[in-house]
Structure 1
Amino acid sequence: MEKPTKCYLCETELNKIAVGLNKKLHGRKVEKFFCLRCLAEHLDMTVEDLLAKVEDFKAQGCTLFN
């Protein structure tokens, strides 16, 4: 599978955090990736909430964000 580079909805360029969070929340075989803004809207959360979750996952030793 080629590396996802754009959001499925708004076509914003994806960063490493967005890709990692999509994989963490939707499974490593996810095919449609969302930017943080679209993912937050999809999950009825704020971007700040998502970034706090990323920090929690990092503290738990998750390697998707390294």
Structure 2
Amino acid sequence: MSSKAKKCIECGKKLKKDEVALSKKLIDLDTEDFYCLDCFATYLECEKNDLEIKIKEFKEEGCTLFL
């Protein structure tokens, strides 16, 4: 399955590359469980905005998953 075809494990929504990267960063690099931001926020019991902030921070840190 290519990264372009990844879907949220909860709702089935087609994922953006940052959503795939965040799942890899916060779950496991080799995970096959990917979440959209809405479902990931529910799973992690946080706000969607918190995840958007983390994505920005990871990009600023130069994390290669978010290139």
Instruction: Give TM-score scaled by structure 2 length.
Output: 0.89
Aligned to 2:45: 44
Q: Normalized per residue, which structure has more helix?
A: 2
Q: Is there any run of 5+ residues in structure 2 with no aligned partner, and where?
A: none
Aligned to 1:63: 64
Q: Deviations over 1:14-52 (max 9, x none)?
A: 000100000000111001111110001000111110010
What is the DSSP-based 3-state SS (H/G/I as helix, E as strand, rest coil) of the residue aligned with 1:39?
A: helix
Q: Name which structure has the greater RCO, CA cutoff 8 Å, separation 6+.
A: 1
Instruction: Give TM-score scaled by structure 1 length.
Output: 0.90
Runs (4+) off by over 4 Å: none
Give, in angstroms, the shift of residue 3 of structure 1.
Answer: 2.8
Q: Is there any run of 5+ residues in structure 1 with no aligned partner, and where?
A: none
- Structure 2 Cα separation of the partners of residues 32 and 61 of structure 1: 23
- Structure 2 Cα separation of the partners of residues 9 and 44 of structure 1: 15
Aligned-residue identity in percent: 42
- Structure 2 Cα separation of the partners of residues 28 and 47 of structure 1: 21
RMSD of aligned alpha carbons: 1.0
